[in-house]
Amino acid sequence: MPKMKSHRGAAKRFKITGSGKVMKNHSFRSHILEKKSAKRKRQLRHGETLSDSDVKRVKRMLPYG
């Protein structure tokens, strides 16, 4: 049986922590930044945990998850 391949799109977007949670980056950070406040942009820098409803789908795409 060959190795399982990870979904490359998901592998670039999500990271699994040591405790098994799935982390993702915030959206709305790529362009049209002039009208967004400095506080809002600063808070978007940090990642956040994925919602429980999506975790199962993402972990299925990542065999190491």
Per-residue burial over 38-65, b if 16 or more Cβ lie within 10 Å, else e, is eeeeeebeeeeebeeeebeebbebbeeb
Nearest to 58 by CA among 4, 13, 3: 13
In the prediction, which pLDDT does 11 show? Answer: 96
Distance from C-alpha of 19 to C-alpha of 42, rounded to nearest angstrom: 26
The residue count for the chain: 65
Residue 64 has pLDDT above 90, yes or no: no
Do strands 22-24 and 14-16 pair parallel, antiparallel, or not at all (unpaired)? antiparallel
Q: Which domains does the chain have, with CATH numbers?
A: 8-61 (4.10.410.60)
pLDDT tens, residue by residue, 3-61: 999 999 999 999 999 999 999 999 999 999 999 999 999 999 999 999 999 999 999 99
